[in-house]
Chain A
Amino acid sequence: MARRHKNVLPGFSLTLGYTLLYLSLIVLIPLAAIFVKSAELSPAEFWKIVSAPRVVASYKVSFGLSLAAAAINSVFGLMLAWSLVRYSFPGKKLVDALVDLPFALPTAVAGIALTALYAGNGWLGKFLETPGPFIGDTLSSLWLLFGGEADSAERLAESCAETLAGFGLKVAYTPLGILVALIFIGLPFVVRTVQPILEDLDMELEEAAASLGARRWQTFRHVLLPILLPALLTGFALAFARAVGEYGSVIFIAGNIPLVSEITPLMIITKLEQYDYVGATAVAAVMLMLSFVLLLAVNILQAWSSRRFRRGRG
């Protein structure tokens, strides 16, 4: 009897059994199949496939850019969530709904739209790749506006275009384009995980900190950040995981140049196209293990940060 009531909540064994069964069916068995299939290879063959120079380059692209995109989203997603929770402005509901759009949009559509925008002839790509003429034209029209002569305005525009000729930023068909796509698809995760925590956060906390003489930065660093960090880390982990597995949108904007802008999912698809199931699962297995290690690290960091926060409070 005593043992039975060890746990206050009833149904522990039932829910645990259900959890294990469900996780096994949905997650573990399909993932195990990958490892079983890749076990058809000898360790030497496995190593040769997963350490080929192109594959290794693709890990760097995929994991490096996914981490960067998640980090960028953590900073700007937090700002977005902050302004959505703390301020009221016209069209706030609309902006709030916009945040979820990257979730709903088919990724191929996102990829094509971003490529159209950032390609050398796109709205944004035009200015980014050749900023000279744009800046020159703006300056010369300003010059005209303030009473300058047409002749010198023209010369100004020309010299501006000339000096800036070497300074272009290519986005589409470079790793930078991949980063843009990954930031796009990862944005909702950070906003949506941080938002509820911010909503629960009393503004009195900040006011109290301010009345005790804390500067704004100190309030953020010592009062807000410890509370937000666990949620922020969750958002970071989700955005990262989503970015690592992303294929549809990236493939259109990447350019897919070997050793430069090939992502790991493309290497897997490439192998499947050659009917090389085993090679594909080998690369997939490495990808899974790397992702698992990184996500585990984030989770440990999160547990540590929330423990520290609680201790600090109590």
Chain B
Amino acid sequence: MRVLSLSVSLFLLLALPARAELTLLNVSYDVSRELYKDINPAFAAEWQAKKGASITINQSHGGSSKQALSVAAGLEADVVTMNQSPDIDVLVERGALVAADWKRRFPHESAPYTTVSVFLVRKGNPKGIKDWADLARPGVSVIVPNPKTSGNGRYTYLAAWGQALRKHGNDAAEARKFVAALFRNVPVLDGGGRGATTTFTQRDIGDALVTFENEAALIADELGSDRFEVVYPALTIEAAAPVAVVDKVVDKRGTREAATAYLDFLFSPTGQRIIARHRFRPRYPAVQKQFAARFPAVATFTVENTLGGWAAVQKTHFADGGIYDQIVEHR
């Protein structure tokens, strides 16, 4: 009898919260961990105030493409928040989990914030690194994450390629020469952005680290600005972080309203301020003005407006045997 009542109460204990509370799963990439740690309670408070009901947001973080694969394979994410649009496009292609027009569902092509690729150099900038051309000089050592396994690395590669294209009047041969010279200066290709940060800051390898502005600012904050300096090149790439509701999952779980409200919150003034505090570039003009000191103006281009979109880039540069492979195989 006791065993029975115990198991019944245990069952109730397990079953009750699942019924009473609304939960969302946000599947995201690696370095957004700290951002969503702040976004989630703020959104839950707003939801509570508006709807009078509590909501819990669960997070899953990992390499962007790996996370997308998990969702495609059946991880029940209500929303996905990635760092490059191919990782959401893949959910359109595989099992039609996300509607094909996901970019039009939210403002700014469904990307609540952007960031730019910048350089981090050692204090005093002993090698005098000011712009991309300096990274390709002989005798300079540059740390870049592996473009084959990391979104951060792909953006770095494309930033170098795109600015060389602009500089040489769209001459692809010149761009290739420049990127090849740059990658000859790379002694270590770490698997991800954080790995590259460790190599540069903890192992003291390299004269410059090319990474996202938010990561560079975080390093300067956490490890002390007396050791490193951020350098903004004349022209760099703008990386937009896209978000989407996973249609198939929210329809099945009945969470569309909450999931949409959650992503809308990212575009609200409150959400945008949290985003800016985490050193991502906000979209909302008033918030941009408020945090203007943190985000120096820099000329940028995007994959879409200069490099012909992600599908083309993937095919010509990163596919096996593509330009990236050719460059690194003949270093």
Binding site for B on A (CB under 8 A): 49, 52-54, 112, 115-116, 119-122, 172-173, 251-252, 255-259, 266, 269-276, 279
Contact = CB atoms under 8 A, between A and B. Distances in A.
Which of B65, B191, B328 is packed against the most chain A CB atoms within 10 Å?
B191
B204 A276 contact: no
Nearest to B94: A275
A255 B189 contact: yes
B100 interface: no
B149 interface: yes
A256 B190 CA distance: 7
B318 interface: yes
B149 A270 contact: yes
Contacts of B328: 258
A120 B203 contact: yes
A272 B66 CA distance: 8
Contacts of A115: 203
A54 B195 contact: no
B205 A119 contact: yes
A269 B320 contact: no
Interface in B171-195: 187-191, 195
20 contacts: A49-B320, A52-B320, A115-B203, A116-B203, A120-B204, A121-B203, A173-B188, A173-B205, A252-B191, A256-B190, A258-B329, A266-B149, A272-B66, A272-B69, A273-B63, A273-B66, A274-B314, A274-B319, A275-B65, A275-B69
- Counting from the closest, the 9 A-B pairs by CB-CB distance are A119-B203, A256-B189, A258-B328, A270-B148, A255-B188, A121-B204, A273-B65, A173-B188, A273-B149
Interface of B: 63, 65-66, 69, 90, 146, 148-149, 187-191, 195, 198, 202-205, 314, 318-321, 325, 328-329, 331
Given A257-B189, A274-B319, 16 more contacts: A54-B325, A116-B202, A121-B203, A172-B203, A173-B188, A173-B205, A252-B190, A255-B187, A255-B189, A256-B146, A256-B188, A258-B325, A258-B328, A270-B149, A273-B149, A274-B314
Contacts of A258: 189, 325, 328-329, 331
Given A257-B189, A274-B319, A120 B205 contact: yes
Nearest to A257: B189
A125 to B, nearest CB: 9
Contacts of A251: 191
A190 to B, nearest CB: 29
A273 B328 CA distance: 18
Contacts of A112: 198
Contacts of B329: 53-54, 258-259
B203 A274 contact: no
Nearest to B314: A274
B296 to A, nearest CB: 31
A293 B321 CA distance: 29
A284 B187 CA distance: 27
Which of B188, B202, B328 has most A Cβ within 10 Å? B188
